[in-house]
Structure 1
Amino acid sequence: MANKGDKDAFQHFGFTISTIVSPLDCGKCHPKEEKEVTESHHAKAAQFVGSLDNVLGRIVEGEPLFNLGCAQCHGRTIPVKNGLPVLGPWPNEGIGRINPDGSKGNCAACHFRHSFSLKQVREPDMCGKCHQGPDHPQIEIWELSKHGIAYKAHQSEIEQTLDRAKWVLGEDYYQAPNCVTCHMGASVTGAKATHDVGARLSWTLRPPISKHKPNWQAKRAEMKKVCAACHQRVWVDGFYYQFDNLVNLYNTKFGIPANKIIKFLKSRHLIDPTPFNEKIEWTYFLLWHHEGRRARHGASMMAPDWTHWHGLFEVAERFYFELIPEADEIVKEKGTRKDKRDWAKFKKELFSRPEHKWFKGMPKSELRKIAEFYLKRYGQTAQ
Structure 2
Amino acid sequence: MKGCGGCHKVGIRDDKSRDEGRYGSPCNSCHTRHKFSKAEAKKPEACRTCHMGFDHPQWEMWSNSKHGSIYEMEGDTGRAPTCQTCHMGDGDHNVMTSWGFLALRLPEDDAEWMGYRVTILKGLGVLDAAGKPTPRLDLVKAGKVARLTKEEWQASRDKMVGVCTKCHSASYAKTSLGNADKMIKEADKLMAEAITIVADLYEKGIIKPQKGQPAYPDLLTFYDTRTPIEQTLYVMFLEHRMRAFQGAFHMNPDYVTWYGLAEMQKDLVEIKADAAAMIRESGHKK
TM range (shorter): 0.7 to 0.9
Structure 1 residue aligned with 2:206: 270
Q: Cα deviation per residue 1:353-381 (whole Å; 9 max; x = unaligned)?
A: xxxxxxxxxxxxxxxxxxxxxxxxxxxxx
Cα deviation code 1:299-333 (max 9, x no counterpart): 1111011110111111111111x111111111222
Aligned to 2:266: 317
The answer to whether the 8 A contact 1:136-1:293 is kept is: yes
Q: Deviations over 1:159-212 (max 9, x none)?
A: xxxxxxxxxxxxxx6311110110012xxxxxx3220111xx111352795896
1:193 maps to a residue whose letter is G
Q: Following the alignment from structure 1 to structure 2, what is the Cα–Cα distance between the partners of residues 101 and 237? A: 39
Residue 203 (structure 1) aligned to one of 87, 99, 121: 99
* Greater Rg over alpha carbons, structure: 1
Write the mapping of 1:58-207 to structure 2, written as runs, cut at 5 A: 66=2, 69-75=3-9, 92-93=10-11, 97=12, 99-101=14-16, 103-104=18-19, 105=21, 106-155=26-75, 158=76, 174-185=78-89, 192-198=90-96, 201-206=97-102
2:153 maps to 216
The amino acid of 1:196's aligned partner reads: N
Q: Deviation string for 1:81-103 (max 9, x for gaps)? A: xxxxxxxxxxx43xxx4725574
CA–CA distance in structure 2, aligned partners of residues 110 and 334 of structure 1: 53
Show the 5 A alignment for 1:10-25.
Answer: none
**Letter of the 1:272 counterpart:** K
| Higher share in strand | 1
Q: Does the residue aligned with 1:298 lie in a helix, a strand or coil?
A: helix
Residue 237 of structure 2 corresponds to 288
Cα 1:119/1:101, change in 2 over 3 Å? closer
Distance in 2 of aligned mates of 1:293 and 1:255: 11
Structure 1: which 5+ runs fail to align? 1-64, 76-91, 159-172, 186-191, 341-383
Partner of 1:261: 197
Provide the TM-score with structure 1 as the length reference.
0.55
Alpha carbons of structure 1 residues 131 and 230: separation in structure 2 relative to 1, 3 Å: same
What is the rounded CA distance, in whole Å, between the counterparts of 1:296 and 1:335 in structure 2? 39
Query: Given that residues 295 and 308 in structure 1 are in contact (C-alpha distance below 8 angstroms), is that contact kept between their aligned partners in structure 2?
Result: yes
Amino acid at match of 1:178: T
Quick one: which amino acid aligns to residue 143 of structure 1? S
CA-to-partner distance for each residue in 1:210-251, whole Å, 9 max, x for gaps? Answer: 896231111100111111110001210110221111111111
Q: Secondary structure at the match of 1:302?
A: coil
- Comparing 311-320 with 101-110, greater Cα deviation is found at 101-110
Task: Name structure 2 gaps, 5 residues minimum.
Answer: 105-116, 122-145, 211-223
Conserved? CA contact 2:103–2:184, under 8 Å: no
Question: Hey, what does 1:228 align to over in structure 2?
Answer: 165
Q: Structure 2: which amino acid aligns with 1:113? A: R
- Whole-Å separation in 2 of the counterparts to 1:181 and 1:207: 21
Query: SS where residue 204 of structure 1 aligns?
Result: coil
Partner residue of 2:280?
A: 332
Higher relative contact order (Cα pairs below 8 Å, separated by 6+ residues) = 2
Q: For 1:265-300, what per-residue CA distance to the aligned partner results, in whole angstroms no more than 9, with x for missing partners?
A: 223332133541211111111111111111111111
Indicate yes or no: 2:175 matched with 1:238. Answer: yes
Aligned-residue identity in percent? 33
What CA deviation, in whole Å up to 9, does each residue of 1:110-156 have, x standing for no partner? 1112211122212222211011113211000001111111111221x
Specify the code of the residue in structure 1 equivalent to 2:95. Answer: V
Task: Provide the aligned C-alpha RMSD in A.
Answer: 2.2
* Residues 86, 163 of structure 2: 8 Å contact kept: yes
